């Protein structure tokens, strides 16, 4: 079975930040916004909405690189990679040197107050869909194989070309 990834259709993003909120909440002990607020939990989202040109915005997601630069840059072994290629941070080992943040070519590692953080894919729902993807109201975030993503892009390109004729 081919590995699924989070992909972005930038043209669909309206910058609503629903993905950020869903990500942050999914990483709380409470698992829901109301419970997290009542418990005083502080959670970090592991996806960012960044400004593009002409007022547009788009999510920045971890690409879960095969040869992850964030993992290679970590001097303590806090940034690790599972056998399935998912990279994650062991907060107990992180010294807050931010090497992972500096080395990530996609800007997908963030700086907390004392430790780094990044997408760890520990937010899958019962159907195996990441919280950020489930929360996106426009379908800008999708969870599919690379082959499925490429085919979807091709379909959209053909549809645009056909409409232009």
Domain assignments of the chain as residue spans, ordered by start: 1-61+123-165, 62-118
What is the structure's pLDDT at 1?
58
Check residue 33 and give its pLDDT. 84
- In the numeric block, which tokens belong to residue 34? 């109301």
- Distance, first Cα to last Cα, the chain: 38
User: Mean pLDDT for each 10-residue chunk of the chain (165 residues)?
Assistant: 88 95 91 85 87 89 94 97 92 96 95 90 90 97 95 91 86
Are the CB atoms for 88 and 82 separated by under 8 Å?
yes
Output the pTM of the full model.
Answer: 0.87
Residue 7: predicted pLDDT: 96
The Cα–Cα gap between 78 and 49 comes to 26
pLDDT at 164: 84
Separation CA 35–CA 134 (nearest Å): 20
What is the reported pLDDT for 62?
Answer: 94
Backbone angles phi and psi of 21, in degrees to 5: -65, -45
Topology of the domain covering 62-118: Alpha-Beta Plaits (3.30.70)
8 A C-beta contact, residue 88 and residue 123: no
pLDDT at position 35 is 85
């Amino acid at each position: 079975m081919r590995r699924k990834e989070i992909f972005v259709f930038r043209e669909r993003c309206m910058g609503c930040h629903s993905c950020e909120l869903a990500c942050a909440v999914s990483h709380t002990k409470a698992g829901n916004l109301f419970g997290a607020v009542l418990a005083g939990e502080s959670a970090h989202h592991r996806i960012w909405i960044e400004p593009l040109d002409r007022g547009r915005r788009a999510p920045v997601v971890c690409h879960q690189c095969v040869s992850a630069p964030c993992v290679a840059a970590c001097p303590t072994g806090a940034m690790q990679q599972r056998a399935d290629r998912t990279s994650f941070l062991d907060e107990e080992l992180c010294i807050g040197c931010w090497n992972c943040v500096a080395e990530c070519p996609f800007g997908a590692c963030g700086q907390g107050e004392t430790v780094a953080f990044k997408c760890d894919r520990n937010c899958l729902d019962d159907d195996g869909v990441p919280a950020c993807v489930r929360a996106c109201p426009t379908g800008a975030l999708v969870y599919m194989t690379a082959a499925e993503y490429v085919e979807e892009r091709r379909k959209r390109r053909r549809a645009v070309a056909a409409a232009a004729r």
